[in-house]
Amino acid sequence: MKKIVIVGGVAGGMSAAARLRRLDEEAEIVVLERTGYVSFANCGLPYYLGREIPNFEDLVLQTPEALAARFRLDVRVAHEVRGVDPEKKTVTGMNLQTNEGFEFPYDHLILSVGAQPIKPPIPGLDSEGVFTLRNLEDTAAIDRWIEDKNPKTAAVVGGGYIGLEMAEQLHRRGMKVHLIDAAPQTLPPFDAEMAELVHKELEKNGVDLPLASPLDRIEPGGKGQVGAVKAGQAEVHADLVILGLGVRPDIALAKAAGVEVGNRGIRVDDHMRTNVPNIWAVGDAIEVVNPICGEQVVIALGGPANRQGRIVANNICGGEDRYNGTIGTAILRVFELQAGATGLKEAQLKEAGLKYEAIYLHPKDHAGYYPGATPIALKFLFEPESGKIYGAQAVGQAGVDKRIDVIATAIMAGMTASELADLELAYSPPFGSAKDPINLIGMMAENISAGLLKQIQWHEIPKLDGSSFLLDVRSAGEVKGGTIEGSVHIPLPELRDRLDEIPKDKTIVVFCQSGQRSYFASRVLTQRGYEVRNLSGAYLTYQSQPS
Ligand code: FAD
């Protein structure tokens, strides 16, 4: 009978425990969890605080009693593991309810200890009313503060996924929210011009957005409570502060056990084995390979933690299951918008010195003639020669998840960009188009790789000199709503008759509203011997760039 001890009873830990039982009815499986709950919905915590999830109990997916009854698991809450002896194969720790020590022997030990919220050493951080959000206890404490103190203003420091979700949810709870970030943009997995679309949505909903504002200090407001936040040039009043500055893998226990730690997280092989025999690790605490660039990365996401938990259980039970790496596929909702990303962003490709092409497009989430269609701003990154897909970002009101998930699947399957053109995707007018945005990306990539389409990017427009001729092929009505300074207007239907207005000795930079008409125009002109560049993403991408 195998004795398996799991430290950490949430995403990775409970997935491992449940799978272990399904594979081995005899094993003795002990789950040790420091907090008062196991198997809770971390990802749902912000939504409870904004009352989209109405009841606290809805966040608790399983109890120790239910897990004992269903899976015959020995689940101990309030059990903090403080030591591991790999020689004796035991874990030791403290029962936080009784203050009694405990020791459990193991044949296999799984560390799924998660990550710790980052707390910078700045004055005022320990004031009452300053919180991080990681577990149910944190959630209950924030909720109590809101109920008791009725805060009118809140500062969320850090514009990652959790920070943005909390900004929206505190707004729902009636607070004036300041979302502060040290960087000039929120949402680190997105490039700046894509994050800008989300910034506009936040501001539209009344969220104040002091960016490029590194946190200096938290000022007391009396009685030891928070009163204001000073961050760079910004000073905002705040009755409640949420720190969303990211997380660090929790490596203390692993280190003490002699487990190798890489740059930031626990090192594991593709079977989730650490360097210490019979100790395995999964989840936010570990480093994984990003298969796109081959580098060791730390990516804290629920999906990978759950899948790793299953893999480790398979391998403990004699399997040879491999983890293929993490590419950071993620999505969040910000008020009316969905923002999703997968793979590498352009800034990372630039930094790595990789050759890439960026495609922007603004297709509708479903057939334009069917009511309710809304645009998706899509950015797609690939290597033009090999067709290797690097990543994608999408922001829109609907259909973002489908497009990001398909591209994520294509990346992991090793598909090329132009192969996206041939994908057969579910379609009827309320759901998509006969040429889905994914197919369009593939077609554009194919055109670029074949030299049929030469692009120019929005950030290159201000650098254009007299050797270029900027051509706007939209309708007169669209031009009235704004255009790019210095452009000449010839609507697409008139183009063939007005070719004499277009100089042959200049590079023609052509744009329309979303990219389709300018592509048609670029084909007309290219076939007549002009040197043409199509503005990728067209006017919509150009005018949404950060100022
Ligand atoms: P956890 O689920 O954090 O579990 C680790 C557990 O180990 C903790 O409960 C901890 O108390 C316990 N522990 C640590 N040390 C010890 C010890 N010494 N002794 C005993 N117990 C110990 N991911 C997404 O993909 N999508 C989302 O929308 C999303 N939203 C999120 C929202 C919030 C507010 C948070 C906090 C996270 C969110 N995540 C999301 C991330 C996701 O929840 C994590 O990636 C995932 O839970 C990691 O699983 P894990 O098992 O590694 O760690």
Task: Give the residue, by CA position, lying nearest to ligand 1 atom 38.
Answer: 43
What is the side-by-side order of every strand in the sheet holding 337-343? Answer: 330-334, 337-343, 389-396, 376-382, 357-361
Q: What does the alpha-carbon distance between residue 31 and residue 16 come to, in Å, rounded to a whole number?
A: 10
Domains of the chain plus CATH, in order, are 3-115+248-316 (3.50.50.60), 130-245 (3.50.50.60), 336-449 (3.50.50.60), 455-543 (3.40.250.10)
The alpha carbon of 115 and the centre of ligand 1 are apart by a number of angstroms equal to 7
Tokens, residue 165: 């979700």
The alpha carbon of 31 and the centre of ligand 1 are apart by a number of angstroms equal to 15
Closest CA to 23 of 379, 425, 336, 321: 321
Tokens, residue 325: 């790496």
Q: For residue range 124-140, what is the model confidence (pLDDT) as tens digits?
A: 999 999 999 999 999 99
Is pTM beyond 0.85? Reply is: yes
Tokens, residue 323: 């983890």
User: Which atom of ligand 1 has the smallest separation from the CA of 115?
Assistant: 3
Tokens, residue 55: 């009841």
Q: What does the alpha-carbon distance between residue 89 and residue 239 come to, in Å, rounded to a whole number?
A: 48
Q: Which of 43, 293, 317, 512 is catalytic?
A: 43
Query: What is the reported pLDDT for 1?
Result: 87
Tokens, residue 42: 């971390």
Closest CA to 50 of 153, 152, 146, 130: 146
Closest CA to 343 of 412, 245, 286: 412
Q: Which residues pair with 92 in a beta bridge?
A: 83, 103
pLDDT below 70 — which residues of the chain?
A: 547
Q: What does the alpha-carbon distance between residue 68 and residue 258 come to, in Å, rounded to a whole number?
A: 32
Phi/psi at 406 (5° precision): -65, -40
To test the pocket of ligand 1, the residue of 139, 169, 284, 332 to mutate (highest count of ligand atoms within 8 Å of its CB) is 284
Closest CA to 266 of 248, 285, 253: 285
Helix, strand, coil percent content, the chain, rounded in steps of 5: 30, 25, 40
To test the pocket of ligand 1, the residue of 43, 48, 282 to mutate (highest count of ligand atoms within 8 Å of its CB) is 43
Residue 107: other Cβ atoms inside 10 A: 14
Query: What is the reported pLDDT for 225?
Result: 84
Query: What is the reported pLDDT for 545?
Result: 79
Task: Give the residue, by CA position, lying nearest to ligand 1 atom 3.
Answer: 114
Sequence-ordered list of residues with C-beta below 8 angstroms from that of 409, at least 6 positions apart, any chain: none
Q: What does the alpha-carbon distance between residue 505 and residue 11 come to, in Å, rounded to a whole number?
A: 62
Q: What does the alpha-carbon distance between residue 499 and residue 503 come to, in Å, rounded to a whole number?
A: 8
The alpha carbon of 331 and the centre of ligand 1 are apart by a number of angstroms equal to 17
Closest CA to 334 of 188, 152, 203, 175: 203
The alpha carbon of 400 and the centre of ligand 1 are apart by a number of angstroms equal to 25
User: Which atom of ligand 1 has the smallest separation from the CA of 286?
Assistant: 52
Look up residue 472 and give its amino acid. Answer: D
Q: What is the DSSP string of 125-172?
A: TTSBTEE--SSHHHHHHHHHHHHHH--SEEEEE--SHHHHHHHHHHHH
Our answer to whether residue 43 is catalytic in this structure is yes
The alpha carbon of 246 and the centre of ligand 1 are apart by a number of angstroms equal to 12
Residues with CB under 6 A from ligand 1: 7-8, 10-13, 32-35, 42-43, 45-46, 80-81, 112-114, 133-135, 162, 250, 253, 283-285, 300-303, 305
The alpha carbon of 373 and the centre of ligand 1 are apart by a number of angstroms equal to 36
Question: CB-based burial of residue 456 (10 Å sphere; 0-12 exposed, 13-18 middle, 19+ buried)?
Answer: buried
User: Which atom of ligand 1 has the smallest separation from the CA of 166?
Assistant: 34
